[in-house]
């Protein structure tokens, strides 16, 4: 495989692991219930994503910065909805 083909796999992976959180946001939004969702998971995940964002900024890698910015926003929405609809 060429390095370019490998990068495509990484980019598809980034898109999937970023937008995967959209269905969870919609599910909590629609049901007004987040009882089954783990707040601890999202707090740890959000902290990790902020560190990935810092890592991307320090390395000046746009893909890492973009993917983790969007993911951080989606996870912040889940955390706010979870705190609202425990």
Binding footprint of a second copy on the chain (CB under 8 A): 1, 6, 9-10, 12-17, 19-24, 26-28, 31, 33-38, 40-42, 44-45, 47-49, 51-52, 54-55, 58-59
Q: Are 28 and 85 spatial neighbours (Cβ–Cβ below 8 Å)?
A: yes
Residue 72 Cβ vs a second copy, minimum distance, rounded to whole Å: 11
Rounded CA-CA distance 49/52 in Å is: 5
Q: Are 28 and 9 spatial neighbours (Cβ–Cβ below 8 Å)?
A: no
Residue 23 Cβ vs a second copy, minimum distance, rounded to whole Å: 4
Rounded CA-CA distance 55/79 in Å is: 23
Residue 41 Cβ vs a second copy, minimum distance, rounded to whole Å: 4
């Amino acid at each position: 495989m060429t390095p370019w083909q490998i990068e495509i796999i990484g980019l598809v992976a980034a898109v999937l692991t970023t937008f995967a959180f959209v269905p969870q946001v919609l599910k909590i939004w629609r049901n007004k219930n987040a009882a089954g969702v783990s707040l601890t998971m999202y707090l740890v995940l959000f902290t990790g994503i902020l560190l990935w964002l810092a890592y991307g900024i320090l390395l000046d890698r746009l893909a890492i910065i973009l993917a983790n910015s969007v993911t951080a926003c989606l996870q912040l929405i889940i955390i706010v909805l979870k705190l609202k609809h425990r």
